[in-house]
C-alpha cells in the first residue's frame, strides 16, 4: 500500500487482493470486510457528499461531565486569526483529488482491499432470500465515495443489477459507476453486462435539479425501487461563531436535500402503485448531544432528518412506501481518519465513550442498509437503526 501526500491532498493506492463472489443471494449479516488494518488517513471531501452519517470530529473547549466520569481530559480547539478551528471538518478544508482508475482510498470505497485476504460475499445457502436486492433499481445520493459509495457497492454485492450513483460532481459520479461495474466484473463474479450502473450529477439542495435527475433515472431504468440519502456535510464551529451562510448551506443539503430526493422517489413509486424503500442516513448526533465537538447545527439537521423520516413513514405507509433511518455513531470514515490522525487523544476519547470500546468501521453499516432496503423489512417503517456501539445508551 502506498500513501501519497502532496500538500493537502491525500491519496492511498491499494492493490486489489481479495476475491468477492457476487451472488443474488442475500448479504449475510455476519459477513464483513473488516481486516486487521488500523484506520488510516483518508480524505475530507470538498463537495457536498461526504460522511453524512458519521459523527464529525473537532475537540471542544472544555471537558464535559460525561468525559470527566470516564477519566477523559479535554483537548482545546486551536484557533488562528483568520482561519477556521484547526479540527474543523468543513468542505473547504482539504481538497479532494479522485484516485485514478483502480486506485482506492482506504475506507472510502465499498471494498477495501488492504491487509490479509478476506472472504466477502460468500453467503450461506440458508440465508433468507428476502434480503436479496436482485432486480431492484437502487439510487444512492452522495455515492461517488465514502459511506454512500460503500452502500452502492453493497447493493451490487447483494444482487442489485441497476445502480444509480448521484453526486454533486458528475465526473466523479460517472467514474465511481464505471469503477463499480469493472470491479465486480473482474473480482466479484459478475458477468459482463450483468450490472448496470450510471453516475449522474445533482445538487440535492436544488429542487429543480433533483426533479430533473430523477426524471433521467426513470427514463433510463423505468422506476426507482430503493433510495438511500447519503449526501450531506458537517462543520464544527462553536455556535457563537457559526456563520449564517454556512448554517443555511448545511440545512439545505442535509435536510432539504433529503426531503427533495425522498419526495421524487415516492412520486415514482406512487405513480406505479408499487412498494418501495427509502433509507435516510441520519446520525447518533440527531439522537443525543455527542461530545466533545461543537456542532449544534449539524446535530439539529440530523434530528430533523430523523423526525422527517418518521413523518413521511406514517404519511406514505398506506402506499406501501417505507421510510427508515440508519444513524451511525463514530465511524472510521475517510473524513474522520484525517482528523483522528492529527489528534490521537480524540480517538482515545471516542473509543472510551463507546461501550463496545472501538470506533465503527463503514462495513458495520452494510447489514443495516440491506435489511432496510430489502423485502426483509417489509413491515418495518418509521424505524431507526442505531449503529453506534451503544453510545446513545449510556
Give me the catalytic one of 258, 302, 371, 374: 302
C-alpha closest to that of 354 among 390, 328, 387, 327? 390
Give me the catalytic one of 98, 221, 242, 298: 298
Determine the Cα–Cα distance for residues 267 and 286; give it in Å rounded to an integer: 27
What the block records as the C-alpha cell of 235 is: 462543520
For 60, the 3-state DSSP assignment is: coil
Give me the catalytic one of 18, 31, 158, 283: 283
Angle at 216 (CA atoms; ends 214, 220), nearest 5 degrees: 115
Residues in the chain: 394
Query: In this structure, are residues 145 and 105 in contact, taking their beta carbons and an 8 Å threshold?
Result: yes
**DSSP letter string, 65-125:** HHHHHTT----PPP--TTS--TT---TTTS---PPPTT---TTTSS----SS---BS---T
- For residue 292, cis peptide bond before it (omega within 30 degrees of 0): yes
What the block records as the C-alpha cell of 373 is: 432496503
- Taking each helix axis from N to C terminus, what angle separates 257-272 and 296-316, rounded to the nearest 10 degrees? 10
Is 298 catalytic? The answer is yes
Angle at 75 (CA atoms; ends 73, 80), nearest 5 degrees: 165
Is 283 catalytic? The answer is yes
Query: In this structure, are residues 74 and 60 in contact, taking their beta carbons and an 8 Å threshold?
Result: yes
Is 220 catalytic? The answer is no
Query: In this structure, are residues 282 and 309 in contact, taking their beta carbons and an 8 Å threshold?
Result: yes
Catalytic residues: 283, 298, 302
Amino acid at each position: 500500500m502506498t500513501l501519497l501526500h502532496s500538500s493537502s491532498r491525500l491519496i492511498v493506492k491499494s492493490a486489489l487482493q481479495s476475491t468477492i463472489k457476487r451472488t443474488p443471494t442475500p448479504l449475510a449479516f455476519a459477513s464483513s470486510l473488516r481486516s486487521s488494518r488500523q484506520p488510516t488517513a483518508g480524505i475530507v471531501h470538498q463537495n457536498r457528499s461526504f460522511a453524512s452519517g458519521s459523527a464529525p470530529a473537532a475537540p471542544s473547549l472544555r471537558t464535559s461531565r460525561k468525559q470527566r466520569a470516564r477519566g477523559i481530559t479535554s483537548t482545546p480547539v486551536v484557533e488562528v486569526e483568520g482561519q477556521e478551528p484547526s479540527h474543523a471538518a468543513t468542505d473547504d478544508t482539504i481538497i479532494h483529488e479522485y484516485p485514478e482508475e483502480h486506485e482506492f482510498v482506504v475506507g472510502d470505497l465499498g471494498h477495501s482491499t488492504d491487509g490479509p485476504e478476506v472472504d466477502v460475499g460468500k453467503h450461506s445457502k440458508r440465508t433468507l432470500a428476502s434480503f436479496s436486492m436482485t432486480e431492484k433499481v437502487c439510487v444512492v445520493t452522495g455515492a461517488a465515495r465514502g459511506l454512500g459509495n460503500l452502500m452502492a457497492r453493497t447493493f451490487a454485492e447483494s444482487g442489485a443489477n441497476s445502480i444509480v450513483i448521484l453526486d454533486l460532481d458528475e465526473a466523479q459520479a460517472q467514474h465511481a459507476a464505471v469503477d463499480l461495474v469493472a470491479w465486480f466484473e473482474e473480482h466479484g463474479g459478475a458477468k459482463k453486462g450483468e450490472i448496470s450502473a450510471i453516475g449522474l450529477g445533482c445538487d440535492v439542495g436544488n429542487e429543480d435539479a433533483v426533479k430533473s435527475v430523477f426524471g433521467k433515472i426513470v427514463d433510463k431504468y423505468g422506476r426507482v425501487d430503493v433510495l438511500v440519502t447519503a449526501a450531506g456535510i458537517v462543520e464544527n464551529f462553536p455556535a457563537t461563531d457559526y456563520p449564517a451562510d454556512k448554517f443555511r448551506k448545511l440545512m439545505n443539503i442535509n435536510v432539504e436535500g433529503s426531503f427533495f430526493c425522498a419526495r421524487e422517489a415516492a412520486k415514482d413509486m406512487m405513480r406505479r402503485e408499487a412498494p418501495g424503500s427509502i433509507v435516510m442516513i441520519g446520525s447518533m448526533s440527531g439522537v443525543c448531544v455527542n461530545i466533545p465537538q461543537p456542532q449544534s447545527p449539524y446535530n439539529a439537521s440530523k434530528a430533523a432528518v430523523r423526525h422527517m423520516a418518521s413523518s413521511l413513514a406514517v404519511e406514505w405507509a398506506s402506499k406501501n412506501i417505507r421510510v427508515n433511518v440508519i444513524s451511525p455513531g463514530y465511524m472510521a470514515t475517510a473524513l474522520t481518519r484525517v482528523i483522528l490522525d492529527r489528534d490521537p487523544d480524540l480517538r482515545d476519547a471516542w473509543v472510551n465513550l463507546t461501550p463496545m470500546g472501538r470506533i465503527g468501521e463503514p462495513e458495520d453499516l452494510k447489514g443495516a442498509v440491506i435489511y432496510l432496503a430489502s423485502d426483509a423489512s417489509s413491515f418495518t417503517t418509521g424505524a431507526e437503526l442505531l449503529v453506534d456501539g451503544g453510545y446513545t445508551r449510556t
